[in-house]
Amino acid sequence: MANVTRNIGLSLGADICWPICFEQIIKRLALRIPIGGDTIDFNVERVTIEPFALTQPVKYDVVIDRLTHWYDTTREWIKKGVLMDELYVFNNPWSVQSMEKHTSYAAMTALGMPVPETWMLPPKAYETLPDLKPTLKQYARLFDLAAIGKKMGYPLFMKPYDGGGWKGVTRIKDEASLKKAYDESGTMVMHLQKAVEPYDRFVRTIGFGPQTHSVLYDPDAPLHDRYTMKREAEFLTPADQRILEDTTLTINAFFGWDFNSCEALRSSKDGVWYPIDFANPCPDSQVTSLHYHFPWLVKSYLKWAIFTAATKRPMRKAFDWEPFYAIAREELPYAQKLQQYGALSRKILEADKFEEFCATHLKHLDEVAWEFFSTDTAKDAVRQKTAALFPAHEVEKFTELFFKRIQQWRAEQK
C-alpha cells in the first residue's frame, strides 16, 4: 500500500471567503482515504498566474476554476492541462467559452423545457464595428420592432444574449420602453424574452456535481438579502423540488458544468416552472450574498473536489448529446421526459458513486464544518470579504449580520 497525495488547485479571482474556509476545513478533516490499495491524502494550493511552456506538466489532479469565464491566460493553461495532463477542472472550459445564454436556451428548448418565448435582435448600432459594417449594410434588413413586441405581448425583458449582470436587464412594459431600451443597447446583441407574469415563486437552484440546493430568491431586495433564509420545505413541495433538481442537473450534465445555477419562476396561472436564466457556470460563491447558505456551498465545494480528486474522475473533454435528444424524441409528456433527463444526468455525474463515497469517507465532514463555522477563523473570513466590498463604516455591522446568519444555520443543523 502506497501513500498517494492528490493535489487540488484553487484558481481564484476576487474570491476571499470560501477559499479560506475550504483550506481550513480540509486540514481539519485530516483525510487518509483507502482506494485501490493506496492511501490518499490531499494537498491544496492556490494557483499562480505565470508564463508556461506547452510541455510543462500541470501538477494538479483537480483545479477549482474561478477564472476561465473571463481570463484568457488561465483558460488556456487549464485547457492545456485537460488535453495533456489528465487534469479535472470545474467546469468544462470549452463549454464555458462557447456556450452563451442563447445557446443554452436553444438546447434546452429542443429538449422540451418551457423556456419563455425568446427572440434575438441584431445590434442597434454597428457604425463603430468596422468589420461588421459592410456585412450589415448589404444584408441586414429593416424590421418592425414594435410589431415583434406586439406579437410577443407585454411585459417583456430585454437582455444581452450572452448574459445580464453588469450589462443590465431591462423590463419592457410597452412599445415606448421597448424602443428606448433597444436604442440604448448600442452594439450589443440582445434577447427579447416574454416575461413570466404573474408568478408566485422565484427560485435559484444551485447544482454542484450531483448536489443541489434551492433558494427562494427576491430580485428586488438589496444584494445581501436576495437569497432569503427560508428552508426548501417552506416554499417547495417535494414534486416541485424534484422538477428543479432534474432541470438543473440536466442543464449541467448536458453542458459539462460541475457548478452552475438555474433561475426559475413558477407561474401562478398554470403552475409551470419556467427556467429563465441558467447559463451561470462559476456562480456567486460569496458569503456577502449567500450568508445563511454559505456553509452548504463550502461543503459542496469540498465534497465534489475530494471525490473527483480521490477517484481520478475523468474529464469529459467532448460531449455526446444524442442520449438527451433520444429522450426528447420519445412520444411522452414533458414531465416524464424530465424524469428521464434527470436519471441520465445523475448517471453522468456519478451520483450513486458520489453518495457512497461521501457516506464511506466523509462521514465526519458535517460535524467538522459545523464546528469550524463557529470559530474566529470563520468569522475573519467573513470580515475579509465584507471589507473588500463594503465601506469601512459598514464592515463591522455586516460582518456581524452575515456571521449571525451562519450561526442560525448551525442552530438549525445541530
Report how many domains make up the chain: 3
270 lies in the same domain as 295 = yes
Handedness of CA 277, 295, 238, 306 (dihedral sign): positive
State the greatest distance between any 2 C-alpha atoms of the chain, in Å, as a whole number. Answer: 73
Residue 122 reports pLDDT greater than 90: no
Q: What is the CATH number of the domain that holds 186?
A: 3.30.1490.20
Give the span between the Cα atoms of 349 and 88, in whole angstroms: 13
In a domain, 104, yes or no: no
Give the domain-ending residue among 51, 70, 98.
98
Report DSSP state, residue 324.
H
- Per DSSP, the residues of 328-350 read HTSSS-HHHHHHHHHHHHHHHTT
237 and 263 fall within a common domain: yes
Q: Identify the pLDDT of residue 222.
A: 93
What local confidence, expressed as pLDDT, does residue 293 receive?
A: 98
Contact 303, 22 (CB under 8 A): no
What was the pLDDT predicted at 372?
98
Compute the C-alpha angle 163/165/167, nearest 5°: 80
Q: What value does the CA radius of gyration of the chain take, rounded to a whole number of Å?
A: 23
Confidence band for 130, pLDDT divided at 50, 70 and 90: confident
Q: Mark whether 307 and 161 lie in a shared domain.
A: no
Mean of the pLDDT values across residues 230-243? 96
Give the phi and the psi of residue 161 in degrees, each rounded to 5. -65, -25
Query: What is 273-295 written as a DSSP string?
Result: EEEEE---SS----HHHHGGGHH
CATH of the domain at 32: 3.40.50
Q: What is the pTM of this model?
A: 0.94
Q: What is the pLDDT of residue 53?
A: 93
Please state whether the peptide bond connecting residue 198 to the residue before it is cis, i.e. omega within 30 degrees of 0: yes
What pLDDT is stored for residue 265 in this prediction? 98
Question: Cα dist. 390→21, 66, 71, 326, 385 in Å?
Answer: 20, 22, 25, 50, 9
Is there a domain that residue 329 lies in? yes
How does the average pLDDT of the chain come out, rounded?
Answer: 94
Q: What average pLDDT does the segment 311-323 reach?
A: 95
Asked whether residue 46 is assigned to any structural domain, the reply reads yes
Give the residue from 208, 171, 380 showing the smallest Cα distance to 284: 208
Same domain, 176 and 216: no
Residue 103 included in any domain:
no
Q: Give pLDDT, residue 97.
A: 87
Same domain? For 70 and 206 the reply is no
Let me know whether 34 and 74 are in one domain: yes
Given 67, 98, 129, the domain boundary residue is 98
Position 408 pLDDT exceeds 90: yes
* Per-residue pLDDT at 165: 53
In a domain, 107, yes or no: no
Q: What is the pLDDT of residue 167?
A: 60
Q: What is the pLDDT of residue 1?
A: 72
**pLDDT tens sequence across 143-194:** 899 999 999 999 999 998 887 554 678 999 999 999 999 999 888 888 999 9
Residue 110 domain-assigned?
A: no
Q: Residue 131: which pLDDT band, with cuts at 50, 70 and 90?
A: confident
The per-residue pLDDT for range 257-274, each reduced to its tens digit, is 999 999 999 999 999 999
Confidence label for 136 from pLDDT (cuts 50, 70 and 90): confident
Nine-digit cell string for 212: 443541489
Mean pLDDT over 101-126 rounds to: 92
Helix and strand totals (H; E) in the chain: 17, 13
Q: Which amino acid is at 163?
A: G
Reference 264, options 253, 251, 255, 254; nearest CA is 251
* Cα separation, 282 vs 64, whole angstroms: 10
Residue pLDDT, tens place only, 322-373: 999 999 999 999 999 999 999 999 999 999 999 999 999 999 999 999 999 9
Higher pLDDT, 100 or 58: 58
d(CA 329, CA 348): 20
Residue 180 lies in a domain: yes
Spatial contact of 98 and 69, defined as CB atoms under 8 Å apart = no
CA angle 298, 358, 288 (to 5 degrees): 10
Q: Do 306 and 400 have their domain in common?
A: yes
- Order of all β-strands in the sheet with 190-194: 118-121, 190-194, 156-160, 170-172
In which domain, by residue range, is 260 found? 199-413
Q: Looking at the structure, tell me whether residues 161 and 235 fall in a common domain.
A: no
Statement to judge: residues 268 and 375 lie in one domain: yes
C-alpha grid cell, residue 87: 487534469
Q: Where are the alpha helices (DSSP H) in 215-333?
A: 232-235, 238-255, 287-290, 294-310, 322-328
Write the burial class of residue 12 (CB in 10 Å: 0-12 exposed, 13-18 middle, 19+ buried): middle
State yes or no: pLDDT of 101 exceeds 90: no
Do 139 and 282 have their domain in common? Answer: no
Cβ-Cβ contacts under 8 Å for 206 (sequence gap 6 or more):
212, 213, 214, 215, 248, 259, 260, 261, 283, 297, 300
With beta carbons less than 8 A apart as the criterion, state whether 253 and 245 touch. Answer: no
Q: Domain ends where: 98, 133, 162?
A: 98
Residue 254: per-residue pLDDT: 97
Q: Does residue 250 lie within any of the structural domains?
A: yes
pLDDT bracket for residue 129 (50, 70, 90): low
Do 280 and 374 lie in one domain? The reply is yes
Is 400 found in the same domain as 375? yes
Question: How much is the pLDDT for 166?
Answer: 46
